[in-house]
Amino acid sequence: MLPKMLTLLPTFLSYFAVAVALIVVFLLVYVNVTPYDEIALIRQGNTAAAISLSGALFGFAMPVANVIAHSDTLADLAAWGAIAGVIQLLTYLVARFTLPHLSEDIPAGKVAPATFLAALSLTVGLTNAACMSY
């Protein structure tokens, strides 16, 4: 058992490293697309910012996890991860269109629109993950 695990360790580390890189890049892009600084708001105790960013992060991570479970190459992971990120960004833009005051509501700490955004991000992420089948 241990020898087999040791032979698979480089593959695990490769996929994990690419997944972490994808998550970091997604977070950097996402927080720069939104008109408010989620990280600063979260540090100030803004629950709405924490809810909305958590939903986006989970919505992105679900398809990435599905691709890891089913892909054969790191290139597949990177490509599908990029697609998942774009879809999450589009989800945010749809939410902003649906809730025109979202860019003021999140910094104001309004939890209802943040919860809607998180639920929308999770729903789209789950659907996205299911569509990424091999």
| 9 falls within a domain | no
Q: What is the pLDDT of residue 134?
A: 64
Structural domain contains residue 7: no
Which tokens hold the place of 4?
């087999």
Helix boundaries (H) for the chain: 2-33, 38-43, 47-70, 74-98, 102-105, 111-131
Q: Quickly tell me which residue has 């939104």 as its tokens.
A: 34
Query: How many domains, the chain?
Result: 1
Q: Which residues contact 10 (CB under 8 A, 6 or more apart)?
A: none
Task: Write out the chain's pLDDT in tens, 134 residues.
Answer: 778 778 889 999 999 999 999 999 999 999 999 999 999 999 999 999 999 999 999 999 999 999 999 988 999 999 999 999 999 999 999 999 999 999 999 999 999 999 999 999 999 999 999 998 76
How is residue 128 written in tokens? 């996205």
Residue 112's domain spans which residues?
14-131
Q: What is the pTM for the complete model shown? A: 0.93
Instruction: Indicate whether 54 belongs to any domain.
Output: yes
Residue 98's pLDDT is what? 95
> Do 118 and 54 meet the contact criterion of CB atoms below 8 Å apart?
yes
Contact 56, 92 (CB under 8 A): yes
Is residue 95 situated within a structural domain? yes
For 11, the token pair is: 């593959």
- Residue 115 counted as domain residue: yes
Residue 15 pLDDT: 97
The predicted structure's pLDDT at residue 78: 96
18's tokens: 């690419």
Domain-located, residue 2: no
Q: Is residue 99 part of a domain?
A: yes
